[in-house]
Amino acid sequence: MHENTQVSRLPQPQSLAPLLVPLVVGGLVAVALGVYGRLHTPTGYAVGPAGFSGPLAMKAWLTTGAFLLVLVQLFSALVMWGRIKMDAPWAPALHRWSGRLAFVLTIPVAFHCLYALGAQFDVPRVMIHSLLGCFFYGVFTAKMLALPKRGLPGWTLPVLGGLTFTALTGLWLTSSFWFFTTIGIKF
């Protein structure tokens, strides 16, 4: 009996090695922010709320802007990955620019949170918010470092993008949504 010994051509698993550096650096960013936020003596004041009634209102509105832009990110990613079928040559540019602007909106918020308030763990909402803030910047760093890497598994960017989206959504819920429902709509 002669058996056919043809080798099947299954796709070879992709290496996770190129993902190691982005994940390690992202993890270090998250830990460094948490350690700084915990060890730094909060000043109570960090950023002038130009045009806003106070720093909490500034943070609530800037985070809301970032959250709305992250919804644009979700939509444009779904278009780019073919989950929403449409001819949209503009989707990659929209994705890049909405992400850049969302990130820029988070910078004064994060600076104020870390410098003026520090990482706090005494109130559950604030603890979750502090941890999500550190996680957001860590996973965002990992995503940005993974973008130019070739040879990563196809799930890498959607997972890192999804985690970034989830973290920012959690940040919005534990800050802006809380502010608007507890303090009220103030500018």
pLDDT digits (tens, 9 = 90+) for 142-166: 999 999 888 888 889 999 999 999 9
* Tens-place pLDDT, residues 8-25: 554 555 677 788 999 999
Where do the domains of the chain lie? 20-182
Count the residues in the chain. Answer: 187
What average pLDDT does the segment 136-141 reach? 96
- pLDDT of residue 45 exceeding 80, the answer is no
Nearest to 132 by CA among 103, 173, 101: 173
At 164 the three-state DSSP class reads: helix
What average pLDDT does the segment 132-137 reach? 96
- pLDDT of residue 99 exceeding 90, the answer is yes
Question: Nearest 5°: phi and psi at 155?
Answer: -85, -10
Per-residue model confidence (pLDDT) at position 70: 95
Per-residue model confidence (pLDDT) at position 26: 97
Sign of the dihedral defined by the CA atoms of residues 175, 178, 182, 187, in that order: positive
CA distance 105 to 168: 12
CA distance 157 to 155: 6
For the chain, the average pLDDT equals 88
